[in-house]
Structure 1
Amino acid sequence: MALGLRVASFNIRTSRGQDGRNSWLFRRRACLDAIRLLDADVVGLQEVRPVALRSVHRAFGGAAVPGRGRDADGGGEHVPVLVLDRRWTVESSETRWLSPTPQRPGSRGWDAALPRIVTVVRLRHDDVAIGVINTHFDHRGGEARRESARLVVEWTSAEPQRHWVVLGDLNAVPGSPPLRTLTDAGFHDALAGVEGGTHHAFTGATDRTRIDHVFVSPAWSVAAAEIRHDRPRGRLPSDHWPVVADLVLGV
């Protein structure tokens, strides 16, 4: 028996951005439509501040949306996991900080410019247990990105009974040291061989760098993967293009 799972990662761009006609107020509906068009079972979102998070909750009211904010008080940027397929039960979830003190809210690690977090979600469907990590690595600190990848490997290795999926804006291109840390640990880049970039800075370009990723542990096979370029309502939904992967797990 094979179990399919469509996953996606999408940096929706902070709702506090000074983006003129691309500000959240003007592109909110297009962004929510873009999430729907992914037709994914599980979506990792990044740069979700409280204003945008409320919009996500309203738009996807029946879905579980675990994850808390990166600031010490639970506010600020969230990296929630949107669980849209109701076959999957959320067994547990938690937020950890990408720092030497992962349990200390608001802690900032190494040379990172900002506190960074992961949302860890444990899902179950019948007897199948999987884990999803959604994250947003730091944009400035090279050491922080490397250490963040090391922590992801450490945490997933501690629960080998789960089949893991890592989603996120890793601010790192294929082949870079943080991503090599993941592949050296046995993770596979689900979008390996897919041409094009994901970050476009509201230009709509498709040929820039790919910094948004899906990585999977060895039990998963990848049936298909792509970078999506939907423009609902004729608008760019974000300054990133989302990535999607169709995964298959033999159970």
Structure 2
Amino acid sequence: MKKTIYLLAAVLLSACGAAPTEAPELKVMSMNMRYDNPEDGENNWQYRRERIAAMVAGAGVDVMGTQELLGHQYAQLRELLPAYGSVGVGREDGTSGGEHCAIFYLKERFELLESGTFWLSEHPEEAGSKGWDGACERIATWAVLREKGGRELFFIDTHLDHVGRVARSEGVKLLFDRIATLGAGRPVVLTGDFNSDPDSPVIAHVLSDGSLRHARDIAAECRGAAWSFADFGQIPEERRPLIDYIFVSRDFEVPAYEILPDTFNGGYVSDHAPVTAVLKFADR
């Protein structure tokens, strides 16, 4: 009798095919790494870099958008995270000068198909160009990634200006223009330091047409702090703002969103807290 049952099960499995496996979840992170400032004392990059690498690896991050990495910081973080591929250039000269908005992706899971950087300015292809009323050169780095299973993803990372209101507004317009052209209809993840709180016109602009959603707003579960910037603990907790974001297209569900602690292994990882989201391709 048992033999008959096993044979019947085998026939059914052969006829219907194996049960479809659910697409794996994708963990993304956005983190302002804090540029290497000698005045940071015990919070200087040289004391934080190993901490950051251990935190990223321990969190199981698949793709990460970063901000403020200077050239040597970017090189050192690549060495500390050998499992990750990366793309990014310096905002001052389009090579290694100045801060990077580098993207890191897990090589075991993703293949890099295309990538690039543009400047948030009236001349997006001009390396080192400063836009509108911005205080600094600002950039966005993007990558088209293909999972080993075949799905493609358009990932874009940026850092909006901290002074120029026009620069922030026009920067968002440019981001959407490039997402439309470079993304070519692929699922989109936009990460970055937007130097704007959730109730600001800038974030309202990002969400205005409904094509992108704040991962926190649609997450099935939210954990961690409500803020992402604490200036190495110098800002009182009740006044700490949320200025770092993960936005996703409607191709994704968000099972979980979490702002991780800004400390790890006994010290600060940055003046910002890492923002994470677990994503799942939505069934359509």
* TM above 0.5: yes
How much identity, in percent, do the aligned residues show? 33
Query: 202-211 or 137-146: which moved more?
Result: 202-211
2:115 alignment counterpart: 93
Query: 132-141 or 29-38: which moved more?
Result: 29-38
**Counterparts of residues 191-202 of structure 1 (less than 5 Å):** 191-192=216-217, 196-202=226-232
Query: 176-185 or 207-216: which moved more?
Result: 176-185
- Give yes or no for the alignment of 1:137 onto 2:128: no
Q: May I ask how many residue pairs the two structures share in their alignment?
A: 251
- Give yes or no for the alignment of 1:174 onto 2:198: yes
Structure 1 counterpart SS, 2:39: coil
- How far off is 1:173 after superposition? 0.8
2:215 alignment counterpart: 190
RMSD: 1.8
In the alignment, structure 2 segments of 5+ residues that lack a partner are 1-21
| Structure 1 residue runs of 4 or more that deviate by more than 4 Å after TM superposition | 204-207
- Give yes or no for the alignment of 1:84 onto 2:106: yes
Equivalent residue for 1:218, pick from 250, 254, 258: 250
- How far off is 1:31 after superposition? 2.2
Equivalent residue for 1:116, pick from 121, 134, 138: 138
- Shift of the 17–146 alpha-carbon distance from structure 1 to 2, 3 Å rule, reads farther
- How far off is 1:121 after superposition? 0.4
- How far off is 1:192 after superposition? 2.4
**Counterparts of residues 1-251 of structure 1 (less than 5 Å):** 1-72=22-93, 74=95, 75-84=97-106, 86-125=108-147, 126-158=149-181, 159-185=183-209, 186-192=211-217, 196-203=226-233, 207=238, 208-229=240-261, 231-250=263-282
Structure 2 counterpart SS, 1:192: helix
Partner Cα distance (1:226, 1:216) in 2: 15
- How far off is 1:230 after superposition? 5.4
Q: Aligned AA for 2:226?
A: G
Structure 1 counterpart SS, 2:170: helix
Q: Which has the higher contact order (CA 8 A, sep 6+)?
A: 1
Query: Which of the pair is proportionally richer in helix?
Result: 2
- How far off is 1:35 after superposition? 2.1
- Give TM-score scaled by structure 1 length: 0.94
Aligned partners of 2:262 and 2:274 also within 8 Å:
no
- Give TM-score scaled by structure 2 length: 0.83
